[in-house]
Amino acid sequence: MLRSRKTRVRSLILAFAAVVMAGASALFFTTQTASAHGTATSPPARQYSCWDRWGDDHQNPAMEQEDPMCYQAFQANPNTMWSWMSLLREGMAGQHEQRIPDGQLCSGGNSDYASLDEPGDWHTTSLGNDFTLHYEDQATHGADYYWVYVTRQGYDPTTQRLGWGDLERVVETGVYEPGEAVDIPVSAPGRSGHHVVYVIWQASHFDQTFYSCSDVWFGGGSQPDPEPTDPDPEPTEPDPEPTTDPEPSDPPAGGECTATYTVANEWGSGFTANVEVASTGGSGAWEVSWTWPGDQEITNSWSATLDQSGSSVTATGASYNDTLASGQSTSFGLNATYGGSNTAPDLTCAIG
């Protein structure tokens, strides 16, 4: 087999810590988050996708209507998203099917993450039937193996909890060394519509197993967008748009993009940050650059190639996300150390 998101102010993290410290999950938050393990980031696991899109806007009431599955997950246990990299079980001894009951696969049978097992309209990532799965091993544990499953045609993630019988294992990898990039080619022919990509990562440092569900959309076009479900307000005012002819003749300049920097987690002398890159005009390969305002130093990164020279950093895409079309976006992340203040840098984005 083949081997292989603006800074979030610290008050947000402290607020969440205060919430989770009210219960038994406090220890889990403070220890597991700092240990920074990993999950599937492309296509994104449910917990990573919710955190990536709503983590800095988690109190927005619009989430309940716009993204009900992430909303219920935040309501059930916000630590599910803030510890997106820590969905694991210990001492499984390879007995995944025997010890994880049907209906609990997405949580890996870990009750702290039970909201991930709920069926519904989870946000999906549009893919071809042949794609590359990127798994982020943040803590550079390495792997004894990755097992990748895809749901069978006919399974409905919006109404059914995931069971072992709904899955087909399509990839079994061999060993990955610590620090080795995990980009796994996957082929899932004969499928269309909403499916789940299920991944088991057996870490190699000791018997620690990570589980993830990534919602994807296979087939021509993309998933149905939430917006068309409420089309009436916009068609009632169609006339002003056709009268503004100058705008279609003056589209956005090619080569424009934005990069948004977010600190996801911070501890003592280190932190995790994510950068969302979005094309606002034109298409092509993207590049993000910045100069650290302090003494930050990158220790590892994912979903991009980062080159740091002194305080200057340049980031370019990985093989699976290095080019963007107009309107498309991608993201990458990094871990870094710092000594003084962890001030966010100003980012410059270019595409073309």
CB 209 within 8 A of CB 202: yes
Tell me: do 197 and 264 sit in the same domain. Answer: no
Q: Is residue 280 part of a domain?
A: yes
Domain encompassing residue 144: 10-218
The answer on 292 and 179 residing in a single domain is: no
**pLDDT tens-digit map of 222-281:** 454 444 444 444 444 444 444 444 343 333 344 689 999 988 777 667 787 889 898 988
Asked whether residue 1 is assigned to any structural domain, the reply reads no
Res 27: pLDDT: 34
Assigned domain for 339 exists: yes
- Select from 175, 198, 218 the last residue of a domain: 218
For residue 336, the model assigns a pLDDT of: 84
When mean pLDDT is compared over 81-85, 315-319, 329-333, 337-341, the highest value belongs to: 81-85
Asked if residue 53 and residue 151 are part of one domain, the reply reads: yes
Residue 342, in any domain of the structure: yes
Is residue 58 assigned to a domain? Answer: yes
Mean pLDDT over all residues of the chain?
81
Lay out the sheet containing 329-337: strands in order across: 256-267, 270-281, 329-337, 297-302
Q: Does the predicted TM-score (pTM) go above 0.75?
A: no
- Output phi, psi for 154, to 5 deg: 110, -25
Give a yes or no: residue 115 inside a domain. Answer: yes
Phi and psi at 113, nearest 5°, equal: -115, 20
Does the structure show a pLDDT above 70 at 22? Answer: no
Task: Could you list the beta-strand ranges (E) of 61-142.
Answer: 88-90, 125-127, 130-137
Is there a single domain that holds both residue 50 and residue 190?
yes
Domain match, 211 and 263 both: no
If asked whether residues 133 and 255 sit together in one domain, one would say no
Same domain, 123 and 185: yes
3 state DSSP class of 47: helix
Q: Give domain status of residue 290, yes or no.
A: yes
**DSSP 8-state code for residue 176:** B
pLDDT in tens, 123-175: 999 999 999 999 998 778 899 999 999 999 999 999 999 999 999 999 999 99
**Residue 23: per-residue pLDDT:** 38
Is the domain of 160 the same as that of 266?
no
Share of the chain above pLDDT 70, in %: 78
Is 71 within a domain?
yes
Reduce the DSSP state of residue 57 to 3 states and report it: helix
**Pairwise pLDDT comparison (207 vs 161), residue with the higher score:** 161
For residue 91, what is the domain's CATH number? 2.70.50.50
The reply to whether 194 and 283 lie within a common domain is no
Look at the chain and report how many structural domains it folds into.
2
The lowest-confidence range among 266-270, 333-337, 345-349 is 266-270
Same domain flag for 193 and 261: no
pLDDT for res 320: 65
Instruction: Count how many residues are written for the chain.
Output: 352
Whether 23 and 139 map to the same domain: the answer is: yes
- Pair (45, 194) in one structural domain: yes
Which CATH number does the domain housing residue 274 bear?
A: 2.60.40.290
